[in-house]
Structure 1
Amino acid sequence: MHLTYEILPVDEIEIIRDLCNELMAFQKSKSYITPELFDSMNFDTRLLPSLKSAIYNHIVVVKHSDEPVGYVYSNISPKETYSNDFATFFDLESVSKNHVGCLSQFYIKEEYRQYGIGSKLFSMSREWLETFDDIEDYFIFVSNGNNSALEFYIRKGFTVSHDILGGFITVLRNNSSL
Structure 2
Amino acid sequence: MNLQYEIIPDDKIECCRDLCNELMAFQKSKSYIKPELFNDMNFETRMIPSIKSAIDNYTVIVKDDDKPVGYVYSNISPKEAYSSDFATFFDLSSVRGNNVGCLSQFYIKEEYRQYGVGSTLFNMSMKWLKQFDDVEDYFIFVSNGNDNALEFYKRKGFSVSHDILDGFITVLRKNQL
Same fold, judged at TM 0.5 (above): yes
User: Match for residue 100 of structure 1?
Assistant: 100
Secondary structure of 2:115's match?
coil
User: Match for residue 119 of structure 1?
Assistant: 119
Distance 2:111 2:123 in 1: 21
Are 1:128 and 2:128 counterparts?
yes
The unaligned stretches of length 5 or more in structure 2 are none
Distance 1:112 1:129 in 2: 25
Secondary structure of 1:29's match?
helix
TM-score normalised by length of structure 2: 0.99
Q: How does 1:1-178 map to 2 (within 5 A)?
A: 1-176=1-176
Cα deviation code 1:16-58 (max 9, x no counterpart): 1000000000000000000000000000000000000000000
- How far apart are residue 67 of structure 1 and its match? 1.1
4+ residue runs over 3 A deviation: none
- How far apart are residue 7 of structure 1 and its match? 0.4
The unaligned stretches of length 5 or more in structure 1 are none
In structure 2, give the amino acid aligned to 1:27: Q
Report the count of equivalent residues.
Answer: 177
TM-score normalised by length of structure 1: 0.99
Cα deviation code 1:113-140 (max 9, x no counterpart): 1100000000000000011011000000
- How far apart are residue 72 of structure 1 and its match? 0.2
In structure 1, give the amino acid aligned to 2:49: P
User: Identity of aligned pairs, percent?
Assistant: 76
